[in-house]
Amino acid sequence: MEYTTQMDAAKKGIVTRQMRDVAEREHIGLDQLIDLVARGKVAIPANRNHTNIKGCAVGERMSTKINVNLGISKDASSMDDEIAKYRKAIEMGGDAIMDLSCFGKTKTFRRKLLAECPVPIGTVPMYDAVGFLEKGLSHIEPREFLEVFRAHAEDGVDFMTIHAGLNRRTVERFKANRRLTNIVSRGGSLIFAWMISTGNENPFYEYFDEVLDIAEKYDVTLSLGDAMRPGCIEDASDACQIGELMELGELTLRAWAHNVQVMVEGPGHMPIDQIAANMLLEKRLCHGAPFYVLGPLVTDVAPGYDHITAAIGGAVAAANGADFLCYVTPAEHLRLPDLHDMKEGIVAAKIAAHAGDIAKGIPGAAQWDHRMSEARRNIDWKAMFAEAIDPEKPRAYRESSPPEHEDTCTMCGEMCAMRTMRRALEGEKEF
């Protein structure tokens, strides 16, 4: 029996290669996984033309995934640097890569990534439109945006962000409810500017059925972008954000009817006390579709440390139902991240995702912590480093300050509580 997309296969009861990968990784039965994919609660991004991809699932009952952004820009156009970052991201356990390239040989870079990368690749076609079409933004014809979308799909891109919820209703709502930081989504701001300059409806909304035809043909998962995500805590949970979320909920149902998988993107900057409610609201308005969040960043005053503000928000979001965390680096709001920034961002996002998985009771999550605690009780440094999210950093710390006794560290020395308790319980009398 043939199928068009992972969702179509699930509705027909067909088990795909990617589904088998996911079932093994997530410790879930195939019957339950098929049901979740068929109902849109889980997405498995896997373009038919991305032949070396392994199954990776985002959504209900799945472990929280993290995405790593990279790509070439006008001011930082080294493909070699970005490929090095991609390889390090995979080595560190990144679950997906988003190529946000917006300058130069974007097609060459994208195809190089897809030829090598075993995890889902995402893009934002709007970023590539001006260079791809070789004309100014305001001169692009409506259906030409679909040409860029199709080109990315043909290349093998697994999930694409389109800001289809930014339609004329959303624009009027924005005008009536002005914000402190306006529209901070790069793709959203470009669509807004195009709509204002041309007077046309957003082509990704107006021709959404044609977008779905392309997505179904290649099995592209739509990541419905949040053009109205809050760019500061003052704008969080406002009419613009919630109104667009309602639009995305309607688009989600249209996509599912077309057997196209969907993820819904979310905030953004948000006070910590609003995060749980926002996660529940997205699940309600978007019918349980997987939720993909940027952060959320819980304060606006920490440039240089936004990987920390995002990890705080990401942990709360994941614990309350977010399924996919977009990493944030220390360079957020400041410059394109380098390799070190990327590593810091990945580690922070992985900590947040794992904390959320513990809270959600994801199989195997708490057992990881149990193994680390056993290693600490036994003062087994090799085992501790093996279980660490980032083995390099703790190993380097220990090697930089060697203790007198191997079963201690230079913090407590012979007064180490683990060492003392082990010796006491083993019956030693002299301390």
What residues are designated binding site?
69, 98, 127, 163, 185-187, 226-229, 265, 269, 292, 333, 409, 412, 416
Q: Which two tokens stand for residue 380?
A: 């087994």
Q: Sort residue 44 into left (φ over 0), alpha (ψ -120 to 50) or beta.
A: beta
Element (H or E) spanning 186, and its range?
Answer: helix 186-198
The residue type at 346: I
Please name which of 205, 180, 209, 207 lies closest in space to residue 192, comparing C-alpha atoms: 205
DSSP H helices, 234-338, are 239-257, 272-285, 306-319
Q: Using alpha carbons, select from 189, 206, 203, 269 the residue that is nearest to residue 236.
A: 269
Backbone angles phi, psi at 405, to 5 degrees: -110, 135
**Cα–Cα distance list, 15 to 5, 9, 259 (Å):** 12, 7, 16
Q: How far apart are CA 132 and CA 106, in angstroms?
A: 8
Binding-site sequence positions for [4Fe-4S] cluster: 409, 412, 416
Determine contact, residues 67/94, Cβ cutoff 8 Å.
yes
Specify the residue for token string 């957020």. 332
Residue 332: closest CA among 307, 350, 351: 307
CA distance 362 to 86: 27
Strand spans (E) along 228-309 = 262-266, 291-294
Residues 6+ apart with CB under 8 A from 113: 83, 86, 97, 99, 121
Tokens standing for residue 99 = 């190529």
Mark the binding-site residues for substrate, compressed into ranges. Answer: 69, 98, 127, 163, 185-187, 226-229, 265, 292
Which residues are documented as binding site for Zn(2+)? 269, 333
**Beta strands, E only, 275-390:** 291-294, 324-326
Read off the DSSP letter of residue 76: B
